[in-house]
Structure 1
């Protein structure tokens, strides 16, 4: 019994001696991978943060351009309103004075009259809307649109350009938010890698076999999850 007991003790010591170097090698490999993963996650987080900053700046520039173009569009619309009101007043005065007849459809401007002068000064984008409006016989048909501004033909290129700039700004802001989320994801991954380093370090220092194994298993699982996560995460170079 004594001899068997000594052999059992000897076998257990040999097993521990064999497991020790293997476990140390495994922990060293885990710490190396965790260190590399932490560096890579930090690098990618910084890259995506830069993408976020640049894209937000581009979105801000697009919104500023949209505001500028919208101001131009508002000025053009104001000019169209003023010229149309002036023309309508002049046309009404000439009709009341008997100088011209009430237009019953199209309108042929007389360059020598005030209304004709104003009509020829309508903007290029406003004139098609006025012609379409006059075809509805608005001066004699109460069902006609109230003004040319209600016509679908009235479209300002500046307003369309401003809307496009706003759309571009919204799209860029979405890209920036996505980049911000990706940067946060990489930061979280780096934190988990740091935990892997902690678990591996504690496993190499603790004298208790069970605690060592538990720490090693937990660290290995966390490391595997982080490595898989890095493989599926988008990369910014």
Structure 2
């Protein structure tokens, strides 16, 4: 014969299951808090990198604008000399074109000077323009990473709420209430825990 009557055995099983659920849920809650913190750190790093890239891009854009302004000034002198028919002065000015303006200018002349000046040519790339574009792209990518990390941290935070619900239901099932109510609460806790664990398994992990 069994040492305990059926009702007592069921109560003991319920107690054991309750302790098991509480233990597992406590560990998973701590894990979700850890992951939420890690993804929050990743978000901060990505935002910082995005901000740094924006600052560098602004600096590169400033360099490109300064170079373009200088090229425009020199080119204007070439236009004036050419208009006055002073070929010697025009050649003197042309010899002092910056390398990137010279490249665009030669391509412009080779095409019969149909475009509205060498500055509209794709060959014209003042220093800093390419770097600025690359840095802006990097800033956009890091900003997107920061938003993604923030969402992942929020997802883990939401899971802590689900696991807190499991703890609440399990704790309530252990109180001095009607037996069937306790079992229903424990059953709900198990269902919520299984669902939460299923969701947790789909989340990325950051160590």
Instruction: Identify the TM-score tier after normalising by the shorter chain.
Output: over 0.9
> What does residue 26 of structure 1 align with?
17
Q: Is 1:186 matched with 2:156?
A: yes
Alpha-carbon distance in 2 for matches of 1:56, 1:165: 14
What is the TM-score with the length of structure 1 in the denominator?
0.82
Q: Is 1:196 matched with 2:171?
A: no
Q: CA-atom RMSD, angstroms?
A: 1.6
Compute the displacement of 1:157 (Å): 4.4
Aligned length: 205
Higher mean displacement: 210-219 or 166-175: 210-219
> What does residue 71 of structure 2 align with?
80
What is the TM-score with the length of structure 2 in the denominator?
0.94
Alpha-carbon distance in 2 for matches of 1:25, 1:170: 52
The DSSP-based 3-state class of the residue aligned with 1:126 is helix
> What does residue 186 of structure 2 align with?
216
Alpha-carbon distance in 2 for matches of 1:225, 1:206: 27
Alpha-carbon distance in 2 for matches of 1:151, 1:68: 23
> What does residue 52 of structure 1 align with?
43
Q: For the pair shown, which has the larger CA radius of gyration, 1 or 2? A: 1
Q: 112, 122, 134: which is aligned to 2:97? A: 122
Alpha-carbon distance in 2 for matches of 1:179, 1:151: 41
Structure 1 segments of 4+ aligned residues over 3 angstroms from their partners: none
Gaps of at least 5 residues in structure 2 are none
Residues 71 and 101 in structure 2, CA contact (< 8 A), matched pair in contact too: yes
The DSSP-based 3-state class of the residue aligned with 2:5 is helix
Compute the displacement of 1:209 (Å): 2.0
> What does residue 148 of structure 1 align with?
118
- CA deviation digits over 1:48-94, x for unaligned, max 9? 0000001100000001000000000011111111110111101222x
Gaps of at least 5 residues in structure 1 are 1-12, 101-112, 139-143
- CA deviation digits over 1:121-158, x for unaligned, max 9? 101011011112222334xxxxx112111222212341
